[in-house]
Structure 1
Amino acid sequence: MSDSEFDLDLDELSSAEDFLEYFGVAYDPAVVHVNRLHILQRFHDYLDGVAEMPLDDEARRALYAQQLSRAYDDFVASDARTEKVFKVFRQLEPFSVEVPLTELFKDGVQHATEI
């Protein structure tokens, strides 16, 4: 099966700006400059979440445009740190650890009254 014209067009797109312009999504260059990789990754994630991809090129083009616009809008209203698109942002989330005071003074550690 040969690639459709839509698939061939997609192969030519390389930057966030290329995708936004191709799909006719109006954008602020300042937002894209700071969030380009995050926008493209979110776009990819949204496409992965589509239950059934349309076979018709026009329907796929419309769906892609909708999902790209949605991904871009996420970063207009928020930022990369808040959106946590990439694993590195999720790894650094704070967590709490509870250690009972009795555990702090076990195994030969001096008692607070001996210090």
Structure 2
Amino acid sequence: MSDEIIVVSTPYLPGHKITKTLGFTWGLIVRSRGLGRNITAGLRSLAGGEIHEYTQLLNQSRQEALDRLKEHAATMGANAVIGVSFDSSETGGVMTEVLAYGTAVVVEPETGAASPVRLG
């Protein structure tokens, strides 16, 4: 069911109207880099440039946080999440926290002529 959740970073969903706001939703993951990745990444950092092991870990973590956000929104009865953002931090020098958050809403397609979007 969470695969059906629409996720956008904007405060609205073009072509849809918000019929109900359900509240704040989030997905959180904390991952350890692990000893092997730390050693490999440490050696690569000596040469400079991108550290692929960390890039891969953060991409996987971001996707998992987004999947968890969608699962949480689905349990709230939402079919969309608007205003989605990500935040991350390091804990203890060996763990990375990735948080995806937004507002869970119920939307339905607009019928008729589209109305202009007004911000502010």
- So what's the TM-score if we normalise by structure 1? 0.28
- So what's the TM-score if we normalise by structure 2? 0.27
Pick 1 or 2: higher relative contact order, CA cutoff 8 A, min separation 6.
2
Identify the structure with the greater helix proportion: 1
Identify the structure with the greater strand proportion: 2
Larger radius of gyration: 1
